[in-house]
Structure formats: C-alpha cells, structure tokens
Structure 1
Amino acid sequence: MSQVELRRRRILIDGRPQLVLSGEVHYFRLDPGDWSDRLDKLREAGCDTVATYIPWLWHELPDRGVDLTGRTHPRRDVAGFLDLAHGKGLRAIARPGPFVMAELKNEGVPYRLYTDTPHLQPTTWDGGVVPTRTLDYLAADFLAAAEGWYAAVMPMLAARLAPRGGPVIGVQLDNEIGMLSWVSNSPDLPDERFHHPTEDRSLAVHDELGRYMRDRYRRYVAFLRDAAIRQGVDGVPFLINVHGTDEGRGRTFPIGISQLFESYRGVPQLTAGSDHYLGDLTVGNAPDLYTSNAFLAASLDADQPLTSLEFEAGSGDYAEDLSQLVPPQAVDLKTRMCVAQGNRLLNLYLFTGGRNPLLDRPVGDGNDRIAFTGERHGFAAPVDPEGRCGAAFSAVRDAFAAVRGASELLADGDEEDDGFALAFVPDHYLTEYHHPASSARAEQVADLARFRGMGPRDILARSLLLAGYSFPAVDVQSPGALPPVLVLASASTLGRAVQERLAAYVSDGGRLLLNGVLPRYDADGAPCTALADALGVRVTGRVDGTPHYFPSVVADGRPEVRVGYAQYLAGGDPVLRVAGSEAVCGVRVHHGAGVALLVATDYPAHLDFWRTCMATLGVTPRLRHDAAEPGLLLTSTVDTSGQRLLHVLNLGPSDADFALSYRDRPVLTGRRLHVPARAGVMLPYGVGVGTATLLETTCELVARTGDEVVLRPTQGPHGDLAVFDRDPADVDGGTADGPVVTATDARVRVRF
C-alpha cells in the first residue's frame, strides 16, 4: 500500500517527494496478448507509471450495461490491464472521462447521448447546432448519465487505488474541458442574455460570458470530483488536463488556464497538468513552453504541483502524411526544460500506437470503428501500432535516464529565479468566444492576442530567456505578494483593478517593466487609464507599420532599428524615440518609491538592449555564459537541503563552447564547457555523496547510493572533471588527483 499526497508543490509517495515518469498506453487499441510487450517497453524507456484513457463509448454495451473485465470483448478488460501493469511494478493514472478525446468518435461519449437526448447539444450564437461533439456539461440529463458511468467505472478503480494496495496513484476528471466550445466559438448559451449582444454592450457582455463559463466549468469539475468520491475514489490526487497549444505554438495555451483555473485552484488534492504539442523545440517556440509552464504554475496554489498530462513524444507524423517530422532531440530538450521548471509528472503522449476496434453496432460512417483515424492509430508514437520502436524511443529512454539520475534532486527541488516575475493576467485570455457580428469584440481580441503574455512578437519572453534570465510568473489578479521586479506584456485592455494594483505596486517601491502598449480600457470596454494617470504618462498617438511604411526607433547609443509599431508617450524620461521625429515611445518614470520602464514598441530581440532594461531595474542574471552565439537557455534548481543542479539547454543550431559562472563565481574555475547543438546537460553543484560533497562537475548524475556516486561524462574528447571536497577512496572509469577526478570512461564510479 502506498500513500499519495500533493503537498508543497510536490508529489509525495509514502511521504517522500518523487517524480512520476509515465507513458500513455491504450489497452483498448491493443490485443491483450500485446499488453505485456508494450508495458515492458514502457519500463525499458524509463517509465514507472502507465496512463490510459478508459472510454465510456467503448465500455458501455448496446443494452447500456458496462463491461470492464472483458466478458464481451477481451479489449474491454481494463481491470486486467491495470492488474498486469501492477504485477510489473508499474503505477497507473486512470483517465475515465466522461470526455476523453483521443481521436475517438463523440470524443469518447456513447452515441445514445446524441441520438436519444439531442437537447444536450449546445446551440451556436444564432441557435444552430454546434459543429463539435460537445454537450452541455451542466445539463441535468448529461450529469445523470455521467454519474451512471462513474457508478460503473469508479468502483473498479477504487479497488485498485495505491492506498489500498493497487497501482492507481491518480485519476483524471474529464479531459480538455472547454476546448471544444472554444475552438468552435460555441459557448454554452442557456442564458438568453448572451445570444444577441448589442454592439454598444458587446464588450461588457463578452466579459460577463467568459466569467459565466469559468463558473460553469468550476461547477462541472466539482460535480465530477464529488461523484468519484461517492463511488469510493478517494485518497489519491485528482487531475485536470489544460489544453491550448496550436500549430506548434503555445501562445493560446493560457486560454485553457483562464477557462479552468477556478476549477482547480484551492481544491484539496487536485492539480492541473499541461497538454502541449509544440513539435520541435527551438529558439522560436522554447519561450512558449517556458511561459506555459510558468503561467500554469502561477495558477496553482501552494500545494498543487506542476505536471504535464500530455507530454508530446514521437515523430510528429500525426496524420501519417509525412508533412511533419520532429527530430528525436526535441523530446530530450522538452523533458529537460520541464523538469527544470518543477514538473513533477510527465506523461508521454502517446507512448504506443495500436488499432481501433469496431463498434458493437455499425453507424455507417465509413469505418464503423471507435475512432476516426481508421484502423491504425498512434502513427507518431515512439512505439508504432505494430510494436516497433522508432527513433523517439531511444531519445525518450536517454532523456528519462538523465532525469532518473537526478530524480531525488528534481523531485524535491524548485527552480531558482533572478528576482523578477512575468505577469500573468488571466483575463487577457478570456477571449475564446466572440459574437460573429461584433466588430468591437474582434478588435479587442486582435489587440490582446498581439500584445499579451510573451509580449509583442513574443520578443519580451524570448529576449529574457536567451539573455540568460530565468523567472516564474505571478497572477497579478490574485492576492499575494508581488516580486521586487515585475515584467508585464500589456495590451490596450487591462482591468481597472489590475491597473490600480500596479500603480500602487510601483508607488510602494516596486520596479515595473511594461512592454506592449499602455492600457486604455477596462476588460468590459470602459475607458480606463488608471495606471497611466498614476505614472503621469499620456498616450498621444501611435504609428503602425504597413507593407510600404517602416517605422523605426532609436535607443541612446544604439543604431536605428525598424519596428512594427510605436505608441507615442508624453511624460517621464525618454529612453526610446521614433526616428525622424520628436515622438517618444519609451520612458522611465519614477513614481513614489518605485520606478517603471515603459517600452511601447516591439523593439527587436537585441539581447544587450533587454539586459540594459533589466539592469535599469536592478536585475542581473545569476547564471552567465560567454558563448559567441545566442541559443543557450540557463537555469538552476535547488532542493530543500541546498543541493543544486545547473541546467544548460542549447536550443541553437550550432555547438556551444563557453565558460559558465553562478552568482559571479566561475564554475570549474572558468573551464570551458561544450554542449552540442540541440542538447542539454544537468550539472550537479554542491551535491552530497554520503559524507562527501560533489562541489562541481562537467558530468551528469547516474546514481547516488550511500558513499558512492556514478557519473556520466558529457564533454567527450574535451575531457570531464568532477571536484569533491575530499579525496575519494576509489575510482572506477577515471583517475583521481586529490579531490579532482578525471573522467576517462563512459561512466565513472567514485567511492568514499
């Protein structure tokens, strides 16, 4: 029996912080004779947990009975699958819906809910049927049917919970809640006041609608949680999956957070996980993953850990059309970034492909199978439908091996930061719905999408990361202390309460960097310049680039650069001017005890410029490198006993050679490090080995047991070192010169 608990943003299993490395295996897409092979491959890849959807559509029979043990079809024996996984020493995460998506027809909900109760399908703005297979989450008939499904599936899971000696350590409630209505712009509209907003009231009505929908999702999740508990599922965490990446980018991911954070924040023993599909990880979209993790963490409470319930793995060939192939290095880079930011659970999605079984009753839709992908499914997975391992399999195995070697430090560690946070404004993402006839709403959404989150053209977040900074995010709409320095990507719309809070923050000594445009409206469209008024700054105009007009700006001592727009500001000390005019688009303002730096243009990703901006606010990076080319992302984690890992990701296309320093102290006395293109390292820094301490090294951890440590060299022909605070008693695979060990083998074992 194992106790599983969420506390201090950690997953505690039997009281000890642990990482959960999981992979999604769909038993219903595999013959039972293949289950053992796929679970063995899961373990070979380095996973300790298997996750799986449990589709209501598949387990409910035509007579409305439910088969969970395979009496009507061997692929319905989910109980046997979980027992087999348990027998192999694997834990399990169960995902029983009601909605499960996974390319299943009706998103995994039985056909009868659409044919027998058509009133459950929400209507569009003009009263038509929504184009997706969503249902009204809070309709009494749907909740009754969902509770009936839970009454069947949850007792089977309850009997297999970890505290009762079984494998199940977590249960996900539904999947990607709100996603279908967002992508189809079809909110649930049972309330007539939302159907036909007048243009003069459009923004206020949309704002009210977004808050109304948030509350509906909150009530829906609360119902599911209570229903699961009534059926005996208690004592393990519940999970919520947050959706939102799109076309290899994460700019829309915070829409899912905005929809759902009221559903999970503050709910005991429940946490939220990301669902990201970004393809390769490069300097272009690495800020998307980093800020998505940071924003999700900012929406969690003090006990809720950061997780990734759909952690993309595989080739990216989702349509089996070879239109996209993701290099295997991507899964290594994404793994390293996520664990460095405090993800405690990674669930590889999808780990293995399979074949979709036929429905019990033909529906005449062209294939009569449970999914719309055809017979084969999971073409891009590390293990294909036929059980063959692709290139991503070895990449996953290597990435998870690196994580396992440092798992104790990562499970009980937190990312360090440079004393500032990126502001997260949930209401900036309350944009998933817009009435087709409202031009005011379209204009508001376009402005928010252009400036929010990572900044105009994503330059703000990208520049800060590649300039060597690492940072959390903070929800500026929620109570709680703000950091000494705050960075905000601002749009024209910013709620009055947030504007007033930021004004008070600066007056009380806070330091604010605002990039974007100075806000002029409240969320409901009412004019609001509370922040500008407090800072004594006025907006006097704006210029935008066109295909034939190229606005340019000048910062002191720097060449003129082209920009996409510039907002003209009056007041404060100028720091940026529009070329060829007296117009100012960047100012420094002293207000009370604090200072604000307003950069009202999309200044390019010139890293020195952004370093100067942060230095103006008193921020310097704790980790520095002297690599010639940009592309390195640096951060560090520290556990509760002060042991650190220095994380280096080379996102660039070229190998990086550089010296590294931590808090102005050269690492390894300035020895140059080599990190190949598209690779990363996790370097121990002050890590205990029994009674000794590994002070610093170029190696990664493989294992620590008592007074022995096993290291993996990373520098190849450049040579590796490990520096301890005392002479080792014995070294295998290397040589010792006092406390300095030179690595000369693939693995080095050092004993004290």
Structure 2
Amino acid sequence: MRLESRRLLVDGVPRILMAGEVHYFRLRRSDWADRLEKLAAAGCTAVATYIPWLVHETPTGEIDLDGGTSEYRDLVGFLELAAARGLSVIARPGPFIMAELKNEGIPFRVYREHPEARPLGWDGERGPTETLDYLDPGYLGHVERWYAAVMPVLAERLTTRGGPVAAVQLDNEVGMLSWVTNTPEMTDSSLAALARRAERRFGRQGALARFGADPGDAAAWASWWRCGGTPGGTEAQQLALHHELGVHHRERYAEYVHRLSDLARRHGIDGVPFLVNLHGTAEGRGRTFPIAISQLSAAYAGRPQTTSGSDHYIGELTVENVPDLYVMNAFMAAVHDAEQPLTSLEFEAGTGDYGEDLSRLVSPEATELKTRLCVAQGNRLINYYLFAGGHNPPLDEPVGDGNDRIAFTGERHGFAAPLDPEGRPSSTYEATRSAVRAVAGAEHLLAAMDEEHDDVVLGYVPDHYLTEYAHPAAQARRRQVGELERFRGMGARDVLARALLLGGHSFRAVDLSAAPHSAGARLDPEGPAVALASPPVLGREVQERLAAFVQGGGRLLLHGLLPTHEEDGTPCTVLADALGLTAGATLDGSVGYFPSVRATGWLPEQPEVRAGFVQRLRTALGCTSQPLALDVADGSPAAVEVALDGGGRAIVVACDYPCHLAFWRGLTARLGVGRRITLDGASPGLVATTTADGEGQRLLHLVNVAPSAQNFTAALGQTPVAGGFRFQLAARSGLMLPLDVRLEGAVLRWSTAELDGAGDGSTVVLRRGEGPGQALLETARRVTADAGAEVSSTAEGQLVSWPGGSPGSVLRIQLT
C-alpha cells in the first residue's frame, strides 16, 4: 500500500480501505474467526488492532508475541488468521495505545525504573494521568527494546512481502493526555532543552527579558516555567512563556514521532505507510480537534509515506456538529502535502453507550451519515472503532488497584460496539454494513476522485489552537485562551462555518501559517476568497500575508474581532491598517445589556437581531467602505465592506450575526462567491458536494442530517440534475449519485439511485431507494432492465424508469 496524489494505492490501484478495530488481546483465540468473519460480512476489507506492550511483556521482562505464555499474546496467530481471511491489517503497536488500558498500554515496570520520566506540571505537581516525557532517555531505551521485538514480526508480514500488514501507526494520540489535563511536560530534561532553544533563538539576555527567567540558571529557569511566570512576571512575559511552551511541545512531539519512524524502519518496516492518530473531539463536538493538528502536524507534514488520521467521537451528526466534522477534515487536509490523503483511524461506530449506563444512545444511521460525509471529502481509510468488543484478562502480576485487569473498564469491554463483547450484533451492526456497502458501491470511482469546491477557502491558523496550557494563576493567559476559544476556527457560535456549509458551499481550508509546507504559503490574490474566523490575536506574519493578499486584489471575509495583537501580546494592526479600519468599543451581552444590529439596505429589509457581541468599527479617512450592519444603539458600523485601490475587497463582520442563511449567502455573493450546487426546496440540514476524477466522471453526494425528509430538485451550475427529477430524501439519510460515468460503449449520464458496484461494462447495478427512480444512458447499445423497470428512448438517450420497491434491493440494467 502506498500514498500518492492524496490517494491510497493498493497494488497500484486507488482504493478506499474500510476497516474495523478488533482487539485480539481481549478475545480468546477460539473467538477470533467469528469476529473476523462478521467483520468481512459487514463488507470491511481490513482489520485494525492495537498491539499493547503492557499485554505482551511478561513479568520476567520477556516479550511474547506468538502466544507461548498466553493466548492473549498470540499476535502472530491473529495476523495469520487475518491473512487467511483475506483481510489487510492496520497495525497499531504504540508504545502508547490508550484503549482504556492501565498506563495507556505501557508496562508498570517502565514507571518503576524511570520515575524521572513522569512529567512535572504546573507548580512542580505531577499530572493526573500516567503519561511520560516522550523524549526521556530512559523511556526511549525501553521503547527501542519494544520496537526491536514487535517491528520485525510486522515487517515479516508486510503486504510488500505477501503478508497482510498494510500500514503501521506510530504511537497513539501523542500529547493528548498532557493537553486534556492542562499538564505540560516539564521534566528537568524537557526544560533544559527549552532553555537551550530559548537561548539559541533570543540570546541569554533576550530570553531573560522575554520570559522573565535566565536560561543559564537551570534551577531558577525550571522553577519559573513551572509557576507559569507567576507571580511577578509581566503580562507580556506570561503570554510569551505560554506560547513558547506550546511551540516547544510541538517540536518535541515531532522529534519523538520521527524517532519512532526511524526505529521502525531500522527494524524492517518499509514500503507501507506510517499513520499518525489525531485526537481532539469532546462532548459531541469537534471544535477542539484542530488542537491535535496544531500539536502534531510537524510530525507528519511533508514526511514521505506518512499521513494523519482523525480520531472522532461526536455521536449523532446534526446541524449543530456537521460543520465540525467537515471542518476537521478540511483542516487536516490543509496541512497535508500533495501526496498525503485523509484517513480516519478511530471512526466512531456503535451505540455510544460507553459508560454502560444508558445515559447516551446514538442512532444506527449516525455511522452511515458520518461515513458518507468523510468519503465525500477524500477519506481513503476508515477504521470503525470499536467494531467488536471483548473482555479484559487479568494482569499476570496483581497490582492491587481494585480489579487487577489490563484495563479499567471492568471485565467486559466495548459494550457499545456493533459486535458486543460476546460477539452478538447490536442495533448498529446492520447500519455499519449499510455504510460500507454505500462506499463499496462507488469505490471504483470514488477512490480516484477529489472533492470539488466553491470559490472560497476557510482559513486555519495553527497558533489559534496552541491553547493546551494555561497556569491557573496566569490571568493574562487565561483571558487570551478564552478569546481564542470563542472566536477561532469555525467562528463565534460556529456561525461562519455553519453558514457556509448549510448555506450550500463546499470548501477546502488553507493553512495561513508561515510554515513552508503550508498551502497558506501559496495564497493567491486571483484565487478563492478567504473566510477567516478572527480572534483579536493574530500573528504578524499571518496579518502581513492577508494584508498583501487583499492589497494584491484578493477577497477576504473576516468574522469576529479585528486583529490587534500577536500571541505574545505585542500590538499589531497590520491587517486592520491595510483595510483602513480601527477597532472601537467591543460590547458583550450581559445582564441588562443586549447588543443588537440591523442589516443595512443591501438586503431586503431585515429585522434587528440580538448579537452576543458587537465591535464598533471606525473607517479611516479616504477608506472606500460601505456599512452592511449597524449597531442599533448608536448607528456604528458592526459589519463593513471595504474596497481597496488594488481591486481587493474585504468584508468584516464584527458581530456574531445569527446563522440567517440569506444574510451570509448575500455576503459571499458580494465577494463573487457563487454556489456550484443549488437545491431548490431543501430546508437547512441537507449538505451537498461533488467529487470528480480527471476524466469528468462525478458523484453527487447528498447528506441529510435534518430530522425531517427533504423534497427538492438539484442543479449543478445552470444544469438540472437528473433532468429536474424531484428527489425525496428521508430524514437522516444520504445518496451518492453517479453523473457522466463511462461504460463500454455508453455513458451513464445520471441516476437517481446509487451504484451498487462497478458492474462488468455491460451491466449497471443500482441500489434502489424508497420511491420511484430513473437513470439516463447515452448509448447505441440495446438497453434492458429487470425489477419491473421500463426503458424508453428520448432525445437525450435511453431512459430507464422503475417503480418504488424494497429499499436497498438491486436493479440491473443490461447493455447488449
């Protein structure tokens, strides 16, 4: 398996790998065949599994990988069984694996022998999780021993050597434990490396002035950083210290992952991709997911045959969080190079009842909706996690922690999975199989396609997500983090991204950082408009890039507050100055005050609307501008359009205007951004996009996350889809419709039903929906069809029409 042109190639052919996670170490050997057979019956072509160091190391310190001491350790047997079943394997050997294992999968011995590897966090206190300093020499020495044992076993069974192992994941969710607990890794060795870095960048006196501590005084330096620059540090020093701490962790994580990949290659892993798993969803949302991209992109960006994979748990897909998933994928792609495809290494499947307390149940169709959206955006590997449950065997040596098992979830594990711990299908098994079938039906087209986009990109600023750490007493830092969390990414109240997506736009994202690999380095004034959710914090280099972009003729939609300073608190108004704007008073809603705005006459008369915040904008003398919304209290502009001499235009919306789609569509239209796809009659909640290959073949993707059915017609540009056919799309369902698909001596111009496989050149196989349907073929060949379908000749071609039938049943069209 190889990564090429953002595709996943298997034997040189673009494929989409559909996998499910099955933990052999949580199942008896006699159960493996049953779980793998049910995985294959669901349509999956690959199995993924963690390979836990904690399980495979025996009490004597030996590493058993062939089951000589326990059937739960028989990795070799599991790999061979997967190969015999024709399944590829995504191997995930850690060292950290999480998966609710004790110590996140690291043997207890490592902690006993190397207490110095356990990080000290704020104020010298240990964090609440069993994480380690990734670059601690003692820890790395044990990692080398683990990789020296496990990697040769995998290397002997790579697909390049006739085995099943198609990809290897490096560690798991690197940096997650430190982030979620606000516990930076401040061991002595880490802070010594930080001191060297600071002195190299700023000089000793420069570092002292910038951070408030002398990098040449190891004890004082360590103490100062562990207290977060408090008390006694200036606000500027607090901000600079926290920002530098985040950058330092980025660099260390990259070094760690690079060391792991070097170790893996040294032990024979070559010719298959390395994968890096990104964490970050929380409470059913993806708003924090870009933190992992910010933390880890340096670990894989531009690295040959290495790519990232998402790890998401967002439950139901609804109008609230469908922009989250869409933006997660877009931001991931924004830092990928031209070779790196999107993957998903932990794609939530199952009922969502993770606590086994029935406090949460996810509908079966959620998995299919999320699958459809992700493959439309170019995901080439989806691993359903957890696909099959199991049980947690006892530790060989009891530790007296209450259950003495390998994990803290009890005896049974994975009770929410499509296959429960006993192997019984849950309510979500059939839905997962339906999702895989939908992808498999069009894989021969989809695997070589890319998503098409409208003339707008969403800006991603990595430093807006460098917010993992804030000392409890560092008030300046905590205020800054609050601002960033409120305004970054998808915008205040997520309205910017939601308005774009639910307003009918498909869009990619652009990395606006100064990193050489980033798409932001190629920002083109003649290219798409840039939409950016704007906190008041924005680095000088990004401001300068955006200013040059607009001054050179580019188009910018800025939603939030005007940028006024950099990450370290240094005042910076480069972008605002270029636009001829100044930030006036910012009014937040509070008890007894309700900021409100009204759109001006550029739209048909609109009611005034309450806003959570309003920033009153002032325009410079000579600035060519038009107010688009006014603060009703004093008439100050809260949204303006600015025209620059060089032909550039910018719209600044300095209030959280509600998600009124007419308003936001009007803004994008003023910037010349049209919609490729229009859906007449659809209500909010229907997401539409297209994928296409280099030969003009397309798939129209329709994902209805609304709780009600949709009744609509569709058009691409000015051309009606399916001759103006009126689609009936059930609530919480989707379609993937073929357009201009070439066959032998024929072209399938369109179908209102999905493909159910590639056919054989003389057969088109369709998966019927609930109601009547049609397909149009342009051909000189004779066309016939089964399942009660009728064929008639029209000016456009041979029209196949069929009545309503059993949803999911197959209809075959023959060409002779």
TM-score range, shorter chain: over 0.9
Q: Distance in 1 between the 2:782 and 2:542 partners?
A: 57
Alpha-carbon contact 2:759-2:765 (below 8 Å) kept: no
Question: Where in structure 1 do 4 or more consecutive aligned residues deviate above 4 Å?
Answer: none
The AA in structure 2 aligned to 1:159 is: E
User: Does the 8 Å contact 2:523/2:549 carry over to 1?
Assistant: no
Q: Give the aligned partner of residue 282 of structure 1.
A: 318
**1:590 aligned to which of 643, 659, 673:** 643
1:613 corresponds to 2:667: yes
Counterpart residue type for residue 481 of structure 1: L
**AA paired with 2:274?**
F
Which of residues 770, 777, 790 is equivalent to 1:735? 790
> 1:302 aligned to 2:365?
no
Are 1:673 and 1:715, in contact at CA under 8 Å, matched by a contact in 2?
no
| TM-superposition CA deviations, 1:456-514 (whole Å, max 9, x none) | 00011111111111000010113223442000000010000000100000011110000
1:491 is matched with which residue: 505, 526, 535?
Answer: 535
Task: Tell me which amino acid in the other structure corresponds to 1:749.
Answer: R
Is the CA contact (8 Å cut-off) linking 1:282 and 1:651 kept in structure 2?
yes
User: Take 2:751 and 2:159, find their aligned partners in 1: how far apart are those partners?
Assistant: 38
Q: Secondary structure at the match of 1:71?
A: coil
**TM-score, with structure 2 as normaliser:** 0.91
Distance 1:640 1:308 in 2: 25
- Alpha-carbon distance in 2 for matches of 1:414, 1:454: 23
Contact 1:708–1:749 under 8 Å retained in 2: no
Alpha-carbon RMSD across the aligned residues, in angstroms, is 1.1
Residues of 2 paired with 1:268 and 1:111: CA distance?
Answer: 34
Provide closer, same or farther for how the CA distance between residues 79 and 211 of structure 1 changes in structure 2, counting only shifts above 3 A: same
Whole-angstrom CA distance in 1 between matches of 2:472 and 2:647: 46
Matched, 1:55 2:52: yes
SS, match of residue 430 in structure 2: helix
2:119 corresponds to which of 122, 131, 137: 122
Question: 1:517 aligns to what?
Answer: 561
Question: Is 1:93 aligned with 2:98?
Answer: no
* Aligned mates of 2:764, 2:411 — CA distance in 1: 46
Task: Check conservation: 2:755, 2:767, Cα contact below 8 A.
Answer: no
Q: Any idea what the Cα deviations from partners look like across 1:244-283, whole Å, max 9, x if unmatched?
A: 0001000000000000000000110000000000000000
Q: C-alpha separation between the residues in 2 aligned to 1:104 and 1:25?
A: 15
Query: Distance between the aligned counterparts of 1:417 and 1:652, measured in 2?
Result: 22
Structure 1 CA distance for aligned equivalents of residues 652 and 248 of structure 2 = 34
Question: Do residues 564 (structure 1) and 612 (structure 2) align?
Answer: yes
1:232 lines up with 2:299 in the alignment: no
Alignment pair present for 1:638 and 2:692: yes
* In structure 2, distance between residues paired with 1:628 and 1:642: 26
Cα deviation digits, residues 305-327 of structure 1 (max 9, x gap): 00000000000000100000000
User: For 1:570-604, what per-residue CA distance to the aligned partner results, in whole angstroms no more than 9, with x for missing partners?
Assistant: 11321110113121111111122210000011100
Q: Structure 2: which amino acid aligns with 1:702? A: D
* 1:538 to partner: Cα distance: 0.5
**Pairing partner for 1:28 from 21, 25, 28:** 25
Q: Which stretches in structure 1 are left out of the alignment for 5+ residues?
A: none
Secondary structure, in 3 states, of the residue corresponding to 1:310?
A: strand
Spell out the pairing of 1:654-673 with structure 2 (5 A cutoff).
Answer: 654-673=708-727
Shift of 1:732: 2.0
Instruction: Name the structure 2 match of 1:750.
Output: 813
Whether the aligned pair in 2 keeps the contact of 1:693 and 1:725 (CA below 8 Å) is yes
Report what 1:195 is aligned to: 226
- CA distance in 1 between counterparts of 2:589 and 2:761 reads 64
Q: Contact between 1:707 and 1:751, CA under 8 Å: does it hold in 2?
A: no
Q: Which residue of 2 aligns with 1:481?
A: 523
What corresponds to 1:268 in structure 2? 304
Aligned match of 2:586: 542
1:453 match:
489
Matched, 1:601 2:655: yes
CA contact (8 A) 2:766 2:812 kept: no
- 1:393 is the counterpart of 2:429: yes
SS in 2 for 1:133: coil
CA shift for structure 1 position 199: 3.6
Q: After TM superposition, list the pairs within 5 Å mapping 1:199-598 onto structure 2.
A: 199-200=234-235, 201-477=237-513, 478=518, 479-482=521-524, 483-556=527-600, 557-571=605-619, 572-591=625-644, 592-598=646-652
Task: Classify the secondary structure of the residue corresponding to 2:757.
Answer: strand
Question: 1:207-245: CA deviations, max 9, x gaps?
Answer: 111111100001000100000011111110000000000
Aligned to 1:622: 676
TM-score, normalised to structure 1, is: 0.98
Deviations along 1:700-722, one digit per CA (max 9) or x if unpaired, are 000223323444354423x1000
d(CA) in 2 for partners of 1:645 and 1:326?
28
Secondary structure in 2 matching 1:391: coil
How many pairs are equivalent? 748
Counterpart CA distance in 1 for 2:119 and 2:461 is 29
Aligned to 2:200: none
Question: Residue type matched to 1:751 in 2?
Answer: Q
Matches of 1:172 and 1:634, distance apart in 2: 32
Match of 2:732 in 1: 678
- What is the rounded CA distance, in whole Å, between the counterparts of 1:176 and 1:703 in structure 2? 35
In the alignment, which of 778, 782, 787 is matched to residue 725 of structure 1? 778
Q: Indicate conservation of the 8 Å contact 1:29/1:75, yes or no.
A: yes
> Given that residues 9 and 304 in structure 1 are in contact (C-alpha distance below 8 angstroms), is that contact kept between their aligned partners in structure 2?
yes
Q: For residue 194 of structure 1, report the CA deviation from its aligned partner.
A: 2.6
Q: List gaps (5 residues or longer) in structure 2.
A: 192-221, 620-624
Shift of 1:169: 0.4
Partner Cα separation in structure 2 for residue 628 and residue 109 of structure 1: 51
State the one-letter code of the partner of 1:45.
Answer: A
Is the 1:681–1:714 Cα contact (8 Å) retained in structure 2? no
Once the two structures are overlaid, the 10-residue window that deviates more, 272-281 or 734-743, is: 734-743
Confirm or deny: 8 A CA contact 1:553 1:561 kept in the other structure.
yes
Identity %: 55
Match of residue 215 from structure 2: none
Asked if 1 retains the 8 angstrom alpha-carbon contact of 2:630 and 2:636, the reply is: yes
Q: CA separation in 2, counterparts of 1:673 and 1:367?
A: 55
CA distance in 2, matches of 1:437, 1:89: 57
